Amino acid sequence: MSEEPGTPGTPGSPGPSGRPGTSRPATAATDGAGTAPGPQPEPIRFFGTTWLTHDGGYGLRRAGLAAGSLLAAAAGCFVLRFAYEGLTIAAVGSFVNLLVVVMFAICSAIAFRRTWEGFTKRHDPASQASMRGLLTIGFVGTLLAYFFRSLTEAPGESLHREEYEEARERYAKRTQRRTGNPSRKKRKR
């Protein structure tokens, strides 16, 4: 979210959460509010800023994301099945087959949980970078988390809404304190 109206958030500038690169302005094409004074909503992948007022095909986008993530998860499972059959044909042994299945199951469970938590709180960028490999292996869990979350809301909508409301409150308090001309105030002696 950009704290200043019309000020683009740059990749190096800290956003409202203190993380670099989290502030981006909304464009008039993606949100219905245009360029209202104050902080602008941060766009969500696949949704832009339609999550704010649930307009601009928000429901269709949610349905499309749910269907797409479920289809991608099914396709991923299909590919993993071929990989498992390749291991069986290669006769690497039942221990290796079991190890591969357990590895994908554990990585998918961790990826699901990590992605699900990411919809309600921001993760530390360093820990997110260290988990990237594990999340890649457990891609099925990530896709399933997107599927289940998109059944109720846009993934990350509640986090973005909470941050946006906090930024609007801070902006309102700041602008409320600035009313009046400070040079006209009487000085206490």
**Using one digit for the tens of pLDDT, what is the confidence trace for 23-65?**
444 443 444 445 677 888 888 888 888 888 888 888 898 999 9
Say if CB 87 and CB 99 are below 8 A apart: no
Rounded CA-CA distance 8/123 in Å is 23
**pLDDT for 38:** 80
Amino acid at 167: A
Rounded CA-CA distance 111/134 in Å is 7
Tell which residue, 106, 112, 113, has the closest CA to residue 142.
112
User: What pTM, to 2 d.p., does this model score?
Assistant: 0.70
> 179 or 93: which carries more pLDDT confidence?
93
Q: What are phi and psi of 9, to 5 degrees?
A: -80, 130
Q: Is pLDDT above 90 for 13?
A: no
**Using one digit for the tens of pLDDT, what is the confidence trace for 111-167?**
999 999 988 888 888 988 999 999 999 999 999 999 999 998 888 888 888 989 999
